[in-house]
Structure 1
Amino acid sequence: MNYQDSYRQAPASFRHRSRIHSRKYGIAGWWITRFRQTGAWDRGLEGVLAAIYIASIFAAVIGALGTPTGLGTWIDIIIFVSANTGLFILAVFLLSFLMSLLYIPLPRLIFSASAYTAYLAYYIQEEASLGTFFITVTTGIFILSAYVLGSFFQIWLGRMNILKKILLSLLPAAWFVFLILFHPTIEQHESESAFADAENSPSLSLPDPGEEGELEVIHLHYGNGEDRHREQFNENVDLISTNVDASLYIEENEWPGWRTRFWGFDQTSLPLNGEMWLPDGQGPFPLVLIAHGNHRMENFSDGGYGYLGEHLASHGYAAVSIDQNFVNFSNWTGIPDEDMKLRAWLFMQHLLELQRFSETEGNLLEGKLNMDSLALIGHSRGGQAVAMVADHERFFENDPSLAGIEELEVTSIVGIAPTDQEVDDTRPAPGNVNYLTLHGARDGDVHNFRGDRQYSRTSFTNEGDFVKSAVYIADANHSQFNTDWGRADMRLPGSLFLSREQMMEPEEQRELTKVFISAFFEVTLRENEEYLPLFKDVRTGREWLPETQYVTRYLDTSYEPLVTFNSSNPRDTFPEGVEASGENFTEWEKVSTEDRKGGNKAADGVIFEWDQEGSYTLSLPEEYRDNYFGEDFNTFSFSMAQMDKELENYQGVTDPELHIRFVFDDGNEVSAALDDYDRLPDSVWTQYSRYPFLEEHFRDGKYDEAIQPAFHTHMIPVEAFTEENVLGDLEEIIFEFSEGPGRLIIDDIGFFSE
């Protein structure tokens, strides 16, 4: 359609006025006419225009909630909505007037308002890195919803009887009900409980480590007394701490002026703020430090572990949640480049400060802290920081501010959904320290099980008794470990699209956190080994833990590997002279497991795939047996992970069976079924978004893989194969797989001693 045609189709009154103005005023009259006719095509669509404006306000509110300024939620909303209103009016006026000048025959105000609102919605989602295709789809649905709302307004602005208005309103109402309630789940989303088959594993007859302890708790705060935002670290502090200079790790341009104005200090004077829960008693008490991860700087995170700190204190630990909010990300000032190092460095500064408190005569903490019994807990980036502290010599050299840290030996570390980034081209590999990691399969932030890699790198020598354990929890997510982070693992607007169908309740997630961490400290800080079976077989704690699937790994210093799968060994021979053979496998090779992104997860293992049945044999030469079986072993152990998602024509959860057969050199053979002692966990399926058909596009495909392999340690008593626990004549170990098709990977084959 050309301009003349569009002009002829315009309302008669506009054409008449246009001719009069053109004759009377010339060019000026034409501009006036075009201005007056800007909304000529929008007559009768006022309700739609109002709905689009409301949609823009909704987007602005989402932007305000997802991008806090630190001035307060309501102030943020007022600022964003006010700015949006001004920009909406300006954008609609300029674009629609331009369309009028070009004689474009469209509802110009509606089109301009739609273009502005669509751009705003797209920009807010793009800032949250939700993925181009996903954003395009959701933006289209958002604008369509604005039109549906506009149709509702138009119905009620129209001249019709009330019954007709109500009936017609049912259609737009149904659309919004559909958007709110429609969130289909993948077929395999239900997680089978780890306690479904628990008859072979008696529960522990011990006090529930998740229950509150008997000690009264004293609540304290320490800091420099000058905090601008929190009274507990301002004039209400109980102990005054020193400031620390972090300029060695923060360049001046990484700490902008707005950051200084917000906090009241720069990188040369970081405060040491801590919230402490102290048992009311004589002491000294084992010291536990807890640190949060990366969250919005303006939304403080350290208070979110009060449930854990108070719980630990009631059981006799001095627990501290340390403040690291000032090194967190801000939309307005970014984040320091060396934030991972900063988090570990601040951990150590707090340790040194607390040591000074405990040794200062007359201090509230004098004699209260056992600095020879130290534990660190870190969540997310804080979880990587605790591993770096335990391996601090790798990352921190020639820093005079850390003088004396080598004298403080950390006994135990806990990584809650930890990150595992490279720092200085390496990653932490703690040695001779007790290690525990907890990770939820529904984690939408650290969506790969990074603690599994830290677990693999944590090593022991023969100096002392140490344990390590990894717990993968089917229905746990990232944020619910912290009471201040809510239920969503992404900030707005991304959290609007996250599925909550598969997540356990926040109280349940925090309950299991208390159970595992308290039991771990009982074992590692108090040497109470009665709680050790919980980490060897999670079913023993079924009276304490919420129902879900737990996939667990375990090793301690009594473990002796039989064979090692590393990069230098092929699939069928090992340096010790042990030989391996396989029968009836469609695939049998040494591989590394991969995470959701295709990166290596952990150490190498051997993968087996079979149609009906297959067997894997380890042949032990006599010389090797004589050497290896000098220990008094009582448990045979191996770790396996389901890889069934990679099976061709995979239709659902597989249910393979495994028998282990010991063959002795006198010809005696004894077989044991894995099901009699443990169960092979099913693959844990995770649907992150509300819409599975968009899962591969959500966050640019980060959630594309519904499954990631998670190793589970299986332990069978040696007495199942030989009554006298005599293994020196063991000639072959045969793994017999059946009930295919199946695909598994195996690692950590060895024995535990008493």
Structure 2
Amino acid sequence: MKIYGGFQKMKNLMHRLITKLKVIWKIFHSYWNRNFGDTYKGLAICSVLFSSIGMAGAVLMYFTPLSIEISYLIGIVVTIVVFGVLFLGAKILFGNRRKGIIYWCLPFVLFYEIAIEATQGNGSEANFFLAVITIVMLDLFGRSLWAIIKLRRQTITLFITLVITTIGLVSVGTLLTGEGFEDRYIENFLTMKEEKTLEDNQNVADEAFVDAIAQGEVEVASLEYGVGDSFDLQSNTYNLSLFAQRDSSLSGWVMDKYFDYDLKNAPITGKVWYPTTEKDCPVLFIVHGNHNYTTDSYLGYDYLGKYLASNGYVVVSVNENSCNQLGNENDGRAILLLENIKQVLKYNKDKTNPLYQKIDEENIAIAGHSRGGECVSTAYLFNGYDVYPDNGNIKFNYNFSIKSIIAIAPTADQYMPAQHEVSISDVNYLLIHGTNDQDVRNVMGNKLYKNTTFSGEGDYFKSALYIAGANHGQFNSEWGKYDIGFPCNYFLNVKNLISTQEQKQILKVFTKIFLDVTLKGDQTNKELFHNYLAYEEYLPKTVYQQMYQGSGFEYVSNFEEDSDITTATMADAKIMASNTRIWEEIKTAYGSSGTKENYALRLKWRATKHAKVKFEIPAYDMTGKELQFDIADLQKNKNNGNQLIDGTVRITDQNGNVANVKISDCAIVYPSLPVQLYKVDFLADSYEYKHQPQIVSVDETKFLENNSEINTDSITSIEIIFDEMEQGDVKIDNVGFGMK
């Protein structure tokens, strides 16, 4: 009976609760109908106009030559058709009900999918809530506006709703159409750097460097070559269909209609800047990457062409729009670049040509941006091959004297010759990438940098420069500050970028000095590529990180040899760590589909200033050399961003003599860079931490200054001791000795 009585009480309680809920629902339903009843048409109009933005983006994917305005008008028509199809399906399933749900769901899905695509899958929760809030406001705005204007309802609820949703939608619109938010980490990190005074790096650069990077005084002329009467010089076509194909879908059909040729007759075309009064000039061929094929991307390096030509270089910007908006075409890009080199060198031999004898064919450099940055390594590889690695029936015969490569924000692994990664040897290599690259977010060029090796024969070097605040597109005048096109660009944060002028200046300076060193043999400012601090007075103010390795570098350990973390690359060398929570070798994937990823040593410690790693080596003579290693912070806590990575580098000779040098006396090693690429990152207070390595070079003389008794001709151990940090998480790579 007690159980029955308890059950009856529960039943009565549930009945009363349900009754109250019904009353509340009835009141709400009456309230809703009084204000928003029969207002779905207002929502429908707003939903169509809003959804058409997303549809316009889809239209542009297939009809790239159209303007955004025309695409939006077409998007409205497409949206109405889509709604019609949805209504037909809904009518079959629900009758004439649920109209509001259909008008609500489509704009929500489009908004969310565009946001996810723009942020490359990051910030999904923040994007979801932003989409929900936006569509709810859009719903209530459309309904209240329709009720007031069309249905002549005048209630306080409607007016308040209209005001609030108008303010909300204007705020969202301002957020999406504006440049976004500023951040302060660059300023804060530079302040930390200023607190460390590196005496050896003060005032190294002088007026000679200022003169070297100045605009030249040589008169510059330019011309374009291609197929057709509109070009200054006539060229030929090349059959690219062996290496790339246009899509057979609608977008491929539109591309066929836009171009007046197919890939069997791809034109060899580009623009040349050259000094009018000079002869036998070193030459740089530069190739753009993937972008809308309606954009003249090759003209985006005009500023670089004019600058270098005024300083005695010939510059050729290759038009590779034939390869744009294709897939699996990077080998085709490389072939087209080599065919352009062949064509321009023909002009150089033609006595009737304005380019006659302008070029020193023994001093050629190639540069590429984005997919072009990957293709230049492939082009260098093909340049030395006799046949195409994926089809030996296709013969090569290039063999140009390419001495230097510049890769600007490159991709990697988009093309893998015969299923191998692109690996090249004995060439000078410069990698440049920005922290705020919203297209190639990871430094894929680190793989190309790693896969550029030296045989020990000849004098070469490779260097990598990482630039805080630089994005993907500002290196090219035709691309600009938005790295992704409409409508995804609305979600990109660009207010925290360095200026376009600054980003171009960095590229100009490093390109010019790199060519001076590697093509003209002028070693005066070579230090720029491993010690930017000596030149920072003349560089745009931002955070830089560098890697460097010369062809005479000898490894102690690159951590690639095996899974035994106590062994090293150098024969009979041993590795040991102490006072750490984690000591391991980690794999860092830089490419997109390759197999030879990079391994490095990881050390993590807490509540101690005695964490260290020690390399025991056979007696080594470092006379006239530098001890080098790359190091990067791995911490992902923004609260740890107020301390530079520091410690002691210690060497011991075979007699037990010890010499110590502080890391901060040789290099500035920044904490992980807390980058915010997207507007939702600021809304959600989220960060993408960048862990680019920084080279630390300790010259033999610094050890001798610390202890003149140290015998640098018989070093038996190297220690890196983190005695300045109570906790840390770092990776160390490429430990060894290089020439000064």
Q: TM-score, normalised by structure 2?
A: 0.82
Contact 2:56 2:72 in 1 (8 A): yes
What is the CA-CA distance between 1:382 and the residue it aligns to? 0.4
What is the CA-CA distance between 1:113 and the residue it aligns to? 3.7
Q: Does 1:52 align with 2:47?
A: yes
2:293 match: 297
Could you tell me which amino acid in structure 1 is paired with residue 135 of structure 2?
Answer: I
Q: Does 1:396 align with 2:388?
A: yes
Cα distance change, pair 265–174 in 1 and its aligned pair in 2 (3 A): same
What is the CA-CA distance between 1:381 and the residue it aligns to? 0.7
Q: Quick one: which of 257, 266, 288 aligns to 1:261? A: 257
1:102 match: 95
Contact 2:186 2:468 in 1 (8 A): no
What is the CA-CA distance between 1:708 and the residue it aligns to? 3.9
Contact 2:52 2:72 in 1 (8 A): no
Whole-angstrom distance in 2 between the partners of 1:457 and 1:693: 36
Q: Does 1:373 align with 2:363?
A: yes
Offset from partner CA, 1:627-661 (integer Å, 9 cap, x none): x42x742322221111223x9x9855554431122
Offset from partner CA, 1:196-238 (integer Å, 9 cap, x none): 345421241122655422222112100001xxxxxxxxx3311
What is the CA-CA distance between 1:716 and the residue it aligns to? 1.7
Counterparts of residues 410-421 of structure 1 (less than 5 Å) = 410-421=402-413
Contact 1:195 1:539 in 2 (8 A): no
Q: Does 1:350 align with 2:331?
A: no
Counterparts of residues 159-558 of structure 1 (less than 5 Å) = 170-179=163-172, 180-181=174-175, 192-193=189-190, 196=194, 197=196, 199-200=198-199, 201-203=201-203, 204-205=205-206, 206-207=209-210, 210-225=213-228, 235-250=229-244, 256-329=252-325, 335-337=326-328, 339-392=329-382, 393=384, 396=388, 403-406=396-399, 408-421=400-413, 422-423=415-416, 424-558=418-552
Cα distance change, pair 390–550 in 1 and its aligned pair in 2 (3 A): same
Q: Which moved more, 1:287-296 or 1:717-726?
A: 717-726
Contact 1:583 1:614 in 2 (8 A): yes
Cα distance change, pair 579–148 in 1 and its aligned pair in 2 (3 A): same
Give the match's secondary structure for 1:405.
coil
Contact 2:629 2:735 in 1 (8 A): yes
Whole-angstrom distance in 2 between the partners of 1:184 and 1:505: 14
Contact 1:596 1:705 in 2 (8 A): no
Give the match's secondary structure for 1:620.
strand
Q: Does 1:634 align with 2:616?
A: no
What is the CA-CA distance between 1:404 and the residue it aligns to? 3.7
Q: Does 1:592 align with 2:577?
A: no
Could you tell me which amino acid in structure 2 is paired with residue 150 of structure 1?
Answer: G
1:736 match: 721
2:664 match: 675
Whole-angstrom distance in 1 between the partners of 2:493 and 2:70: 30
Q: Quick one: which of 607, 617, 621 aligns to 1:620? A: 617
* RMSD of Structure 2 on Structure 1 (CA): 3.7
What is the CA-CA distance between 1:174 and the residue it aligns to? 2.8
2:71 match: 76
Q: TM-score, normalised by structure 1?
A: 0.81
What is the CA-CA distance between 1:278 and the residue it aligns to? 1.3
Cα distance change, pair 522–189 in 1 and its aligned pair in 2 (3 A): closer
Counterparts of residues 701-740 of structure 1 (less than 5 Å) = 706-722=688-704, 727-738=712-723, 739-740=725-726
Could you tell me which amino acid in structure 1 is paired with residue 221 of structure 2?
Answer: I
What is the CA-CA distance between 1:417 and the residue it aligns to? 0.8
Cα distance change, pair 664–477 in 1 and its aligned pair in 2 (3 A): same
Contact 1:633 1:751 in 2 (8 A): no
Could you tell me which amino acid in structure 1 is paired with residue 241 of structure 2?
Answer: S
Cα distance change, pair 135–585 in 1 and its aligned pair in 2 (3 A): closer
Contact 1:662 1:669 in 2 (8 A): yes
Contact 1:186 1:692 in 2 (8 A): no
2:19 match: none
Offset from partner CA, 1:38-67 (integer Å, 9 cap, x none): xx9964565444333332344444545666
Contact 1:472 1:550 in 2 (8 A): yes
1:659 match: 648
Contact 1:656 1:741 in 2 (8 A): no
Give the match's secondary structure for 1:744.
strand
What is the CA-CA distance between 1:141 and the residue it aligns to? 3.8
Could you tell me which amino acid in structure 2 is paired with residue 709 of structure 1?
Answer: H
What is the CA-CA distance between 1:115 and the residue it aligns to? 4.5
Could you tell me which amino acid in structure 2 is paired with residue 619 of structure 1?
Answer: E
Q: Which moved more, 1:344-353 or 1:284-293?
A: 284-293
Could you tell me which amino acid in structure 1 is paired with residue 719 of structure 2?
Answer: I
Offset from partner CA, 1:273-316 (integer Å, 9 cap, x none): 10111112231211111111112223342222212222221221
2:18 match: none
Whole-angstrom distance in 1 between the partners of 2:449 and 2:51: 47
Cα distance change, pair 428–564 in 1 and its aligned pair in 2 (3 A): same
Contact 1:419 1:450 in 2 (8 A): yes
Aligned residues: 681
Whole-angstrom distance in 2 between the partners of 1:168 and 1:41: 11
Contact 2:141 2:161 in 1 (8 A): no
Whole-angstrom distance in 2 between the partners of 1:368 and 1:595: 39
Offset from partner CA, 1:132-152 (integer Å, 9 cap, x none): 877755543442242243256
1:228 match: none
Whole-angstrom distance in 2 between the partners of 1:691 and 1:431: 43
Whole-angstrom distance in 1 between the partners of 2:146 and 2:213: 57
Whole-angstrom distance in 1 between the partners of 2:663 and 2:43: 65
Whole-angstrom distance in 1 between the partners of 2:487 and 2:175: 17
1:749 match: 735
Could you tell me which amino acid in structure 2 is paired with residue 344 of structure 1?
Answer: A
Q: Which moved more, 1:542-551 or 1:562-571?
A: 562-571
Q: Which moved more, 1:432-441 or 1:129-138?
A: 129-138
Counterparts of residues 561-580 of structure 1 (less than 5 Å) = 561-568=555-562, 570-574=564-568, 576-580=571-575
Matched residues, percent identical?
25
Contact 1:348 1:405 in 2 (8 A): yes
Could you tell me which amino acid in structure 2 is paired with residue 617 of structure 1?
Answer: K
What is the CA-CA distance between 1:721 and the residue it aligns to? 1.6
Give the match's secondary structure for 1:276.
strand
Could you tell me which amino acid in structure 2 is paired with residue 556 of structure 1?
Answer: G
Cα distance change, pair 590–215 in 1 and its aligned pair in 2 (3 A): same
Could you tell me which amino acid in structure 2 is paired with residue 267 of structure 1?
Answer: L
Whole-angstrom distance in 2 between the partners of 1:130 and 1:556: 36
Whole-angstrom distance in 2 between the partners of 1:533 and 1:82: 60
What is the CA-CA distance between 1:117 and the residue it aligns to? 4.2
Cα distance change, pair 141–217 in 1 and its aligned pair in 2 (3 A): farther
What is the CA-CA distance between 1:608 and the residue it aligns to? 1.9
Contact 1:372 1:409 in 2 (8 A): yes
Give the match's secondary structure for 2:453.
coil
Could you tell me which amino acid in structure 2 is paired with residue 710 of structure 1?
Answer: Q
What is the CA-CA distance between 1:249 and the residue it aligns to? 1.9
Q: Which moved more, 1:76-85 or 1:342-351?
A: 76-85
Whole-angstrom distance in 1 between the partners of 2:170 and 2:246: 51
What is the CA-CA distance between 1:455 and the residue it aligns to? 1.0
Could you tell me which amino acid in structure 2 is paired with residue 618 of structure 1?
Answer: F
Could you tell me which amino acid in structure 1 is paired with residue 260 of structure 2?
Answer: G
